[in-house]
Structure 1
Amino acid sequence: MPEQTVGVVGGGIIGLAVAREITRQRPGTRVVVFEKEDHLAAHQTGHNSGVVHAGIYYRPGSLKAELCARGRTLIRDYCLEHDLPYDECGKLVVAVDPSEMGRFDALEQTARTNGVPGLRRIGPDEIGEIEPHATGLAALHSPHTAITDYRVIARHLAGEVAKAGGVVHLSTAVTGASRDRGRIVVATAERPHPVDHLVLCAGLQADRLGRVVDGQREPRIVPFRGEYLTVPGPKRDLVRGMVYPVPDPRYPFLGVHFTRRVDTSTGSVQRGSLEIGPNAVLALHREGYAVRPGLRIADAAGTLGHPGFWRMARTHWRTGAREVRGSVSKRAYLRAAQRYVPGIGPEDVVRAGAGVRAQAIARDGSLLDDFAIVSGNGVTSVRNAPSPAATSSLAIAAYVVDRMGFEAR
């Protein structure tokens, strides 16, 4: 059989993980990665909190729960094998009010069903032993929740793809695809690229690219901007690992939390800055990461013109208004965070970076909670891959490649 060529659109961690997995499972396959930016991990991969999740939150039996559990182990082993940053600093999910205890109990059951390693339910005294400056009525302690730097992992994956004979094209935007004599011709500004199979890992542009390539108009991506504060002074050491709230199960967001970052600037893995966040504010610019991101007309029109957005907004406008207040005011932002770590106030923080989450939404206004990966007619499309997609990336890659087929031409 002649050598097959697979094109992968997206130079984030999922696209690069898929490209590497193809070279592992199908030696001799030619892999071509297309990334529209001039560097890798430019979007969601490079703007997330760096957490390696243990699987506490995800509906048992869902693709998220399955691939997060497998992905955490794969990411840990990959980092250890290649001497990449990985720090099991642990996480507390803390209940601070009696009204949260029903959700807390349900979350504990979910986490235990998902087999979260080392999970313990603890009381106020043990909270203080693990995080001396945190307060709460009860907490779930996940000692194997970790932090890493997904940008470093992405670059290493790209290096493996290149060593296996693959090609990573930077500054190469895919504008469409057509079919010619049984192959898929990927259109770019420079030249066409014929491939036998195409994998779309386009993140924030997943719906737009999917519509152009495979004609599927749904689900639609609604971008949510997640803004972070950072603690630049000595108070960053008031948190040793991670402190999270009990999430509201109506939303696929985890709430404002405290997270240590890894610092690789010294050449060794150390715990670095302390971040607070992210919130979840409707983004009017899909790739707006600046403190003041501005407006991109096409992005705003795409969101506001989708009937699913308005159905969602009618249901959740109060939550949206609360998130906007926190975005405008550091004091309002910290008000929720101080319930968990009272010693850090508005005077101790500065505005830091932001990320934009690609959240798929259906026409009925429901937020898609699970990963959505569809395949057919030579095209595999990752249509919804929000958190814990980075944690799950190596497992997602194996899932995608297992289902690609690689039919003979």
Structure 2
Amino acid sequence: MSQLDFDVVIIGAGVIGLAIGQRLAGRGQQILIIERADQFGGGASSRNTGCIHSGAYYPSKSLKAQLCLRGRELLYDHCSKYDVPYKKIGKVFLATAPKYIDGLIKIKNLAESNGLSPLLEIDGPDIHRFEPFLKCDAALLCPESGIVDSYALMLSLVVLGGNHGLTLATRSRVISGKPEKGFWRVYTIDESGKKTFVRARWVVNAAGIWATGISRSTFPLRTIPEAHPVKGSYLQLTGPSPVSRIIYPDLIPGKISERVDATPGIDGKLRFGPSVDAAASYEDYRVADNLKERLTPLIQRYLLNYNTLKLSPDYAGVRPKIKTPGNGAPDFIFDWADEGGWLDLWGMESPGLTSALAIAEHVEFLAGETGLI
């Protein structure tokens, strides 16, 4: 590669960056992933419930819908092939009162439009046949959802990529990039304050919540979405889970609201959340104050006979949401810089984990279109 250090520099070692790196390394590309933290996947990729989304309620023809459906398929195959712990347990959408039934109708229509098999409609009194400890006015059952061990998934990508020569550099923060003739200089700074750069033919900015800031420092005159980080905290229920499936109560597609979704984890623990809170920083992982008091009344709307004394604060994460003019809930954005060879990934929030392998496939396609691979 003469004057180049790598074919591709990927910024960010979350599940999306790792998936892209693993896929491109398998194509024979020399890959460097640069991660600011001391290990991979320490941000949004691991601070979630590990839900494998079905793709039921994302806007039709959106990238979120398309990549979620494709990603789910790839993810289940990957987990089976490489012994990554997962369970296909299904998801139940609930309407806890008549006013939420319109939301179920919207979910059902979107699911059909997105190509899912018809969701099973359940009358309120019949929910006990599926989940004895639930109460609701109506429900939908989606069998395609599941849960995955997100750390094991990311570790498998690191190992597979490493088998093809992928290099992972941690504790190094990307400052900006600079285009040169036929390559990019990517400038970094480490924990000691030492600055350096690496050279690569092209760059993928998959830095999650940090992505827009890196884009802005590299392209000060470019139109870049506004970062809108949202903190979500979770409660954990001690003891056996009263539900066997993922439970989503009163979901209104496209609306950001405080959630008390119940997700049985791979570790056997049931978690409720996420809340919606302003993040004091991109790494504000403090569990929100009064979380139990805030979420308990919402949980009691649909869950019967559980001991609130067994609820305790668990963890928090910061979701890499963005805002674009006139759109508070934008789609996934893949955007090439005008200079060429620099691809920004913005707004890679949920369903990013489910979509990760399909996002990697999509990046490979985009790079092929431009002749980079």
Shared topology, TM-score over 0.5? yes
- Across the aligned residues of Structure 1 and Structure 2, the Cα RMSD in angstroms comes to 2.0
Structure-2 residue corresponding to 1:142: 142
Q: Does 1:279 pair with 2:275?
A: yes
Structure-2 residue corresponding to 1:21: 23
Distance 2:215 2:307 in 1: 44
Identity between Structure 1 and Structure 2 (%): 28
> What is the one-letter code of the residue matched to 1:70?
R
1:118-162: CA deviation from partner (whole Å, max 9, x where unpaired): 621112344212111001111110122100111211111011111
Q: Are the aligned partners of 2:67 and 2:358 in contact in 1 as well (CA < 8 Å)? A: yes
Q: Are the aligned partners of 1:231 and 1:275 in contact in 2 as well (CA < 8 Å)? A: yes
> What is the one-letter code of the residue matched to 1:370?
D
Say if 1:360 and 1:212 are closer, same or farther in 2 by CA, change over 3 A.
Answer: same
Aligned length: 362
Structure 2 counterpart SS, 1:176: strand
Q: Does 1:333 pair with 2:295?
A: yes
Structure-2 residue corresponding to 1:8: 10
Quote the offset at 1:253 in angstroms.
Answer: 5.4
Say if 1:68 and 1:252 are closer, same or farther in 2 by CA, change over 3 A.
Answer: farther
Quote the offset at 1:288 in angstroms.
Answer: 1.2
Structure-1 residue corresponding to 2:165: 165
Quote the offset at 1:75 in angstroms.
Answer: 0.3
Structure 2: state its 5+ residue gaps.
190-194
Name whichever structure is richer in helix by fraction. 1
Structure 2 counterpart SS, 1:109: helix
> What is the one-letter code of the residue matched to 1:374?
D
Quote the offset at 1:370 in angstroms.
Answer: 1.1
Structure-2 residue corresponding to 1:258: 262
Structure-2 residue corresponding to 1:208: 213
> What is the one-letter code of the residue matched to 2:273?
G
1:340-363: CA deviation from partner (whole Å, max 9, x where unpaired): 103235322001101111110124
Q: Are the aligned partners of 1:7 and 1:199 in contact in 2 as well (CA < 8 Å)? A: yes
Distance 1:249 1:213 in 2: 34
**Misfit runs of 4+, over 4 Å:** 1-4
Quote the offset at 1:254 in angstroms.
Answer: 7.7
Structure-2 residue corresponding to 1:322: none
Structure-1 residue corresponding to 2:328: 367
Distance 1:102 1:402 in 2: 38
> What is the one-letter code of the residue matched to 1:134?
L
Quote the offset at 1:218 in angstroms.
Answer: 2.3
Distance 1:408 1:117 in 2: 37
Structure-2 residue corresponding to 1:381: 344
Structure-1 residue corresponding to 2:358: 395
Distance 2:358 2:257 in 1: 22
Q: Does 1:242 pair with 2:246?
A: yes
1:375-406: CA deviation from partner (whole Å, max 9, x where unpaired): 13110010111100110000011111211246
Give 1:209-228 correspondences, 5 Å limit.
209-215=214-220, 216-228=222-234
Say if 1:331 and 1:346 are closer, same or farther in 2 by CA, change over 3 A.
Answer: farther
Scaled by the length of structure 2, the TM-score of the pair is: 0.92
Distance 2:113 2:314 in 1: 36
Give 1:343-358 correspondences, 5 Å limit.
343-358=305-320
Structure 1 counterpart SS, 2:56: coil
Distance 2:307 2:20 in 1: 42
> What is the one-letter code of the residue matched to 1:239?
V
